[in-house]
């Protein structure tokens, strides 16, 4: 059998498994928004662990990281910093968000922020930022999926058709089984992608160089420019290192698909355990990515699309079955994030916009169907973006994270009681300034003084939020007691006693 048939067949078998899981999840689902959107708030450690890591690591980690090591060298090992920060943020922030979500039945991030800041304008602004910037993330996954199936089929299935097939499958099992289907498929995807990237990288290292140590030696001999900062193209300056660390940790956590995972945990202890242990998975996945990217730069130089280095190497050097299994793992990496983003955006648009402003007081079944229609619409937008624009996957993710990062002052204001809290006017003014600065520092004058535009925007956003809050009206005493009081009861029980 020809290699492309084996590789493509294995990917399609994998897709079939995800659809079956979606159908089974649908049988278990009740007509209830909390069940459909939040897994009934009863996700235990193992399910939550695998869904968080599978969602965090996407086509960006599986394909994009190899591409970045390939082009910019060892500087991408900075990736470890943001995976560690993700763990620490989950450890500190996760239990707080979970406690508030459980006590006040929040479903989306905007629910929490609008409640605390007593403002529908805050709800709409947060919903818009959440959706607009995560749509870029849909593009990242769709683009990655297109690369994978295009390479696996040996160019017989075009990038456009491949992207469409995989987007439709992800949307199908999401529409069928809601977040339960997403979590169940994430469990398989999380394990599959981790094993696949390690097996693939080690196979290539031994096949092409005789082992990882020989790979490093060969990189040293042939491409020493890849082994020093800021890298051959001068990308990893200190400012970029710090900027990527912040935008790809806080910026990803504050996206709705990650924040909503905190709401779904069965208890706060599960989230602390999650925070302490997720970096083990997240960080160690970049070790094989380094081998693939750096080794690929020696073995297959001059690739037009560096993000394709892993599948191209596999197809050129690995046996067809192994290539198929690993590319199915890459598909898993992209789909596990894609389904989560589609789900989160569906939740935000259904709950924060449609249910509140367009058609309130309708039955749960009605909202479930509207949610499904929204997934279909998002699918079209993601598809069009992915086939019309191209960029480094890592660049797109960083842009997406920079936008969500602008929610940070508002979220910190809710989750950490301070002597003088932020106000709705302060938060909105800060967000507005942050987004304007983001545009200037990413598009007009990219990364002034070498510091990432997302960080410039966050700094000015925070300054404006604090200054404006100092002279505007705080949330009412009742709201402060209700929300910060809940945090004190849950997080500092010894103080509240």
Give the span between the Cα atoms of 182 and 482, in whole angstroms: 33
Least separation in angstroms between CB 270 and other proteins: 11
Site string for other proteins, 64-93 (x = CB under 8 A): ----------x--xx-xx-xxx-xx--x--
Among 44, 210, 224, 319, binds other proteins (CB under 8 A): 224
Minimum distance, C-beta of residue 374 to other proteins, in the bound complex (Å): 37
Quick one: 128 or 451, whose CB is closer to other proteins?
451
Contact criterion met (CB below 8 Å) for 77 and 401 = no
Which candidate, 125, 174, 138, 111, places its Cα nearest to that of 371?
Answer: 174
Rounded to a whole number of angstroms, the minimum distance from the CB of residue 255 to other proteins is: 22
> For residues 244 and 465, which CB has a smaller minimum distance to other proteins in the complex?
244
Q: Which residues contact 432 (CB under 8 A, 6 or more apart)?
A: none
Least CB distance to other proteins at residue 314 (A): 23
Q: Quick one: 245 or 386, whose CB is closer to other proteins?
A: 245
Binding-residue pattern over the window 167 to 206 for other proteins, x denoting contact by CB under 8 A: ----------------------------------------
Residue number, 277 or 479, with CB nearest to other proteins: 277
Taking the C-alpha atoms of residue 128 and residue 114, their distance in angstroms, rounded to an integer, is 13
208 vs 215: CA distance, rounded Å? 8
The closest of 474, 415, 406 to 129, measured between CA atoms, is 406
Task: Please identify, using beta-carbon distances, which residue of 273 and 381 lies nearer to other proteins.
Answer: 273
Per CB under 8 A, does 234 bind other proteins?
no
**Residue 263 forms beta bridges with which residues?**
none
The Cα–Cα gap between 446 and 440 comes to: 7
String of contacts with other proteins for each residue 254-293, x by CB under 8 A? ------------------xx-xxx-xx--x---x--x---
Task: Work out how close the CB of 228 gets to other proteins at its nearest, in angstroms, rounded to a whole number.
Answer: 4
Nearer to other proteins, 46 or 436 (CB): 46
- Residue count, binding to other proteins (CB under 8 A): 34
Decide if residue 154 touches other proteins (CB under 8 A): no
Instruction: Specify the residue, 28 or 220, whose C-beta has the smaller distance to other proteins.
Output: 220
Distance of closest approach, residue 212 Cβ to other proteins, in angstroms: 8
Tokens of 1: 């059998």
Q: Which of 45, 235, 241, 416 binds other proteins (CB under 8 A)?
A: 241
CB of 241 to other proteins, least distance (A): 6
Residue 230 in the binding site for other proteins (CB under 8 A): yes
What residues numbered 102-121 form the site for other proteins, per CB under 8 A? none
For the CB of residue 216, give the shortest distance to other proteins in the complex, in Å: 6
Of 191-199, 224-232, 255-263, 412-420, which part binds other proteins (CB under 8 A)? 224-232
The whole-angstrom separation of Cα 313 and Cα 318 is 8
Contact predicate 344/109, CB 8 Å: no
Applying CB under 8 A, among 13, 16, 168, 213 the residue interacting with other proteins is 213
Q: Least distance in Å: CB of 231 to other proteins?
A: 11
CB of 214 to other proteins, least distance (A): 8
Contacts of 440 (CB under 8 A, 6+ apart): 453
**Smallest distance from other proteins to CB 83, Å:** 8
The contact set with other proteins (CB under 8 A) reads 74, 77-78, 80-81, 83-85, 87-88, 91, 213, 216-217, 220, 224, 227-230, 238, 241-242, 245, 272-273, 275-277, 279-280, 283, 287, 290
């Amino acid at each position: 059998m020809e290699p492309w048939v084996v590789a493509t067949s294995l990917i399609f078998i994998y897709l079939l498994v995800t659809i079956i899981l979606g159908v089974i999840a649908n049988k278990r689902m009740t007509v209830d928004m909390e069940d459909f959107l939040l897994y009934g708030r009863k996700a235990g450690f193992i399910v939550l662990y695998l869904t968080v890591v599978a969602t965090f690591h996407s086509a960006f980690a599986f394909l994009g990281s190899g591409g970045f090591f390939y082009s910019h060298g060892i500087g991408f090992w900075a990736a470890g910093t943001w995976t560690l920060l993700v763990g620490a943020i989950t450890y500190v922030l996760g239990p707080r968000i979970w406690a508030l979500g459980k006590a006040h039945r929040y479903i989306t991030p905007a629910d929490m922020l609008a409640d605390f800041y007593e403002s529908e304008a805050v709800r709409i602004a947060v919903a818009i930022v959440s959706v607009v910037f995560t749509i870029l993330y849909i593009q990242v996954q769709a683009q990655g999926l297109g690369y994978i199936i295009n390479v696996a089929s040996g160019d017989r299935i075009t990038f456009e058709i491949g992207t469409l097939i995989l987007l439709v499958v992800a949307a199908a099992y999401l529409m069928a089984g809601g977040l339960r289907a997403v979590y169940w498929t994430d469990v398989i995807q999380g394990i599959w992608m981790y094993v696949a990237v390690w097996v693939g990288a080690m196979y290539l290292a031994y096949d092409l160089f005789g082992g990882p140590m020989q790979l490093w030696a060969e990189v040293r001999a042939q491409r020493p420019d890849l082994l020093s900062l800021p890298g051959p193209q001068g990308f990893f300056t200190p400012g970029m290192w710090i900027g990527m660390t912040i935008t790809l940790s806080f910026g990803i956590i504050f996206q709705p698909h990650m924040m909503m995972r905190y709401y779904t945990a069965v208890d706060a202890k599960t989230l602390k355990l999650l925070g302490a242990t997720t970096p083990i998975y997240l960080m160690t996945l970049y070790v094989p990515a380094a081998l693939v990217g750096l080794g690929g730069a020696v073995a297959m130089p001059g690739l037009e699309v560096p993000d394709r280095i892993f599948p191209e190497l596999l197809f050129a050097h690995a046996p067809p079955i192994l290539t198929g299994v690993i590319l199915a793992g890459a598909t898993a990496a992209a789909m596990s994030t894609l389904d989560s983003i589609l789900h989160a955006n569906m939740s935000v648009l259904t709950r924060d916009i449609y249910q509140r402003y367009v058609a309130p007081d309708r039955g749960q079944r009605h909202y479930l169907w509207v949610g499904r229609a929204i997934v279909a619409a998002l699918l079209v937008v993601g598809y069009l973006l992915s086939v019309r624009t191209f960029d480094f996957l890592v660049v797109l993710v960083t842009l997406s994270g920079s936008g969500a990062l602008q929610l940070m002052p508002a979220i910190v204001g809710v989750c950490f009681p301070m002597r003088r809290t932020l106000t709705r006017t302060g938060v909105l003014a800060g967000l507005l300034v942050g987004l304007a600065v983001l545009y200037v520092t990413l598009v007009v004058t990219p990364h002034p003084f070498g510091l990432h535009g997302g960080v410039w925007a966050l700094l000015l956003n925070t300054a404006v939020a604090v200054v404006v809050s100092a002279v505007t009206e705080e949330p009412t005493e009742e709201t402060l007691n209700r929300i910060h009081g809940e945090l004190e009861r849950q997080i500092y029980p010894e103080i509240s006693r």
